[in-house]
Structure 1
Amino acid sequence: MGRAAPPSEQAILNRRRQLRGQKRLKFLISTWRTLAISGLAGSLLWLASLPRWVIHRPNQVTIRGNHTLSGTAIQALLPLQYPQSLFRLQPQVLASTLETALPIQKALITRQLFPPQVILEVQEQAPIAKTLCVGAVNPMEQRCILRQDLKPTPVQQGPAGIWLLDSRGRVAPLSSYPHLQTSGKLPTLTVLGLFTPAPPAAQKQLSKTDLAVDSPLMTLTQARQTSWAMMYRQIRQSPIKITTVDWRSANNLILETELGRVRLGPYNESFPEQLKALTRMEKLPRYVNPQQVLYIDLTNPERPLIQVREAGKAGANNQQPSPPTP
């Protein structure tokens, strides 16, 4: 076979012109795309700054789905600064804040342009217990402020003396539930020691405000909420009625029950076994007069102990093993 003839000089020139044309076309397309994107971004920024798509007042936020939790309490925890552009609103951040700070199971936030409005749909989580501020001689009269360091913005509630608690460890002041406050139909379970004192730096910052008068600053950590959620799942399965969870001491969790006061030691993985041991003692009143029981010690659930008063000696006591399980 013969060799292929080399391209002519004219063909090479034509190929070069074709390549230069393609490069110019690609450059023009790239430039047009950049200008289009920049123009679109500028237009959106301009639209976002228009007064017609900015909310200026809290009454431009519509809250739906709340039956017991007041709209005022929900709106107070929305991290919004007015005026607020609807295009700069972050619905997921707002929803996450409400679901983490309040007894709200689900929050859905949508933006409405005509007229400019924020619509918030919530699904409440029913309160199952009440918790108190601890530190006063009479805990029922102690008011405190609760601060939670959520991201991106910390939230603050109170001051309040009685708080309602859901099964996940989310709280709100009793005043956030107007109907429950008026009717007085509060949960029967009481939790003491759920809140812990806030760090000194936060306390110092609060002391500069008028709210600091007789209202200590407390905090509720995520670890505490997680522990409570696990604890409550186990408590509600117990056939023994529990009226108070005293968590004020990290070394001794105390339960007030229908059988009397129960000491458990530190809250840990033994808690389910301790509740089972308490269930096995449900017939205890047949053997021991409940008026004579000082407390039941279930620190070791395999060896329950009952502290009883000595007959005829006021203030004296005697420790006995629990009676055999019938």
Structure 2
Amino acid sequence: MAGILSVSRKDLAQRRKKLRQQRQIKIIQAIWRTFAVCGLAGGLLWATIQPMWMLKAPAQIVMRSGNQLLSERTIRSMLVLSYPQSLWRIQPNAIAESLKQQPTIAQATVSRRLFPPGLIIEIQERVPVAIAQTSKQQKTIDCRSNPQSSEQPQNCPRNSSTANKQGKLGLIDANGVWMPLEKYTSLNPTGKLPSLKVIGSPQQYRPYWTQLYQALSQSSVKVTEIDYQDPTNLILKTELGNVHLGVPSNQLPEQIKVLVQMRHLPKKFSPGQIEYIDLKNPDFPSVQVNQKTNIKSQDP
């Protein structure tokens, strides 16, 4: 019995010793891990505050629109940033939101670039579908050419160099978002402008613009101009002639469908004989004929 007890005491003592050694090793490992983490964090903090992680000029920013790299001048005009500033203090989401507030940009993503330090910006531009003009050319009177005219106003400009004034020009996309022409051309100096033109106040035709444009884009009749200077009568300039649609309504798609069905009109009427096509009521379309043209055509 004494032998068995002595062996058990020795085993217990050795086990206690091993346990103490294991605890000491764990404590040492924990201390080293703490020192390693603190050292790594301190190193990262030291690295982030170094001058190399600074945004010093627009040249450090890469901005792309599709596959096109935008110039430094364009970047300066689109971004409002102070230089220099720490790359880590810049908020990419805030920059992206500010870019999307610009009328020519639909989407934007911004990310930091570490090597070399800078920013990478990807933008998606709005695609214009029509040239927008606020009003047609308005007649003005030249005081020098007709000083005795009864139409001459009291405050007649005496240094007028042109006889017409043109409304403000811009561009609109398929959703009716208006874009300044100069901003679009600065981003796309070689871009082709749309052939469709719309005249009138954007605030007035924007509510139904998307519906109208979708109907026209699916139509086989070519439309070159949309005139909404008269809110009571929307006029389309088409290859068949002028088309009067009246007050814009939910009937616009149906009116365009009826217009497509009237493609045969050039076979029945000679050029210039149609004054306008009346589609105010798409159930009863009519053609207004130019009477003067008819009289002339009957002359021998």
TM-score bracket, normalised by the shorter chain, equals 0.5 to 0.7
Q: Per the alignment, in what secondary structure is the counterpart of residue 248 of structure 2?
A: coil
Name 1:259's counterpart in structure 2.
240
Aligned residue number for residue 269 of structure 1: 250
Match of 2:227 in 1: 246
Cα distance in structure 2, aligned partners of 1:125 and 1:290: 38
Deviation at 1:254, TM superposition (A): 1.5
Instruction: Look up the SS of the partner of 1:291 in the other structure.
Output: coil
Q: For residues 234-260 of structure 1, give each alpha carbon's deviation from its aligned partner in whole angstroms, at most 9, with x where no partner exists.
A: 210011111112233333222111111
Matches within 5 A, 1:145-224: 161=169, 163-170=170-177, 171-173=179-181, 175-176=185-186, 177-180=188-191, 185-193=192-200, 195=202, 224=206
- Paired letter, 1:244: E
Q: What code does the residue aligned with 1:59 have?
A: A
CA RMSD after TM alignment: 3.9
| Residue type of the alignment partner of 2:250 | E
Mapped to 2, the partners of 1:141 and 1:67 lie a distance apart of 39
In 2, the alpha carbon distance for the partners of 1:255 and 1:265 equals: 10
Return the alpha-carbon distance in structure 1 between the equivalents of residues 99 and 84 of structure 2: 20
Cα distance in 2 for partners of 1:74, 1:302 equals 53
Deviations 1:298-325 (CA, angstroms, capped at 9, x unpaired): 12111212222214689xxxxxxxxxxx
* Conserved 8 A contact 2:55-2:117: yes
Instruction: Measure how far apart 1:133 and its partner are.
Output: 4.3
Cα gap change, 1:143 to 1:92, in 2 (>3 Å): farther
Residues 105 and 276 from structure 1, CA distance in 2 versus in 1: closer, same or farther, beyond 3 angstroms? same
SS at the partner of 1:264?
strand
- Residue 130 of structure 1 corresponds to which residue in structure 2? 131
Distance 1:122 1:90 in 2: 17
Alignment partner, residue 25 of structure 1: none
Contact 1:69-1:124 within 8 A present in 2 as well: no
Q: Quote the residue 1:7 is aligned against.
A: none
Residues 295 and 228 from structure 1, CA distance in 2 versus in 1: closer, same or farther, beyond 3 angstroms? Answer: same
Equivalent runs, 1:79-118 vs 2, <5 Å: 79-82=80-83, 86-99=87-100, 101-118=102-119
2:209 to 221, 228, 246: 228
Q: How many residues align?
A: 225
> Unpaired runs of 5+ in structure 2?
1-40, 140-162, 296-300
Normalized against structure 1, the TM-score is what? 0.55
Aligned to 2:269: 288
Deviation at 1:113, TM superposition (A): 4.5
| Contact 1:103–1:166, Cα closer than 8 Å, also in 2 | no
Q: Which residue of structure 1 aligns with residue 142 of structure 2?
A: none
Question: What amino acid maps onto 2:60 in structure 1?
Answer: Q
Contact map agreement 1:70 1:178 (CA 8 A) in 2: no
Shift of 1:189: 1.1
Q: What residue in structure 1 maps to residue 145 of structure 2?
A: none
Partner of 1:59: 59
Larger Rg: 2
Q: How many Å apart are 1:54 and its aligned residue?
A: 4.8
Deviations 1:143-199 (A, max 9, x none): 74xxxxxxxxxxxxxxxx4x343323342425322113xxxx432111222545xxx
How far off is 1:66 after superposition?
A: 4.6
- Distance in 1, matches of 2:216 and 2:75, equals 29
Q: 2:125 and 2:265 mapped to 1: Cα distance?
A: 39
Give the superposition deviation at 1:278: 0.8
CA drift of 1:125 comes to 4.4
Identity %: 37
TM normalised by structure 2 equals: 0.59
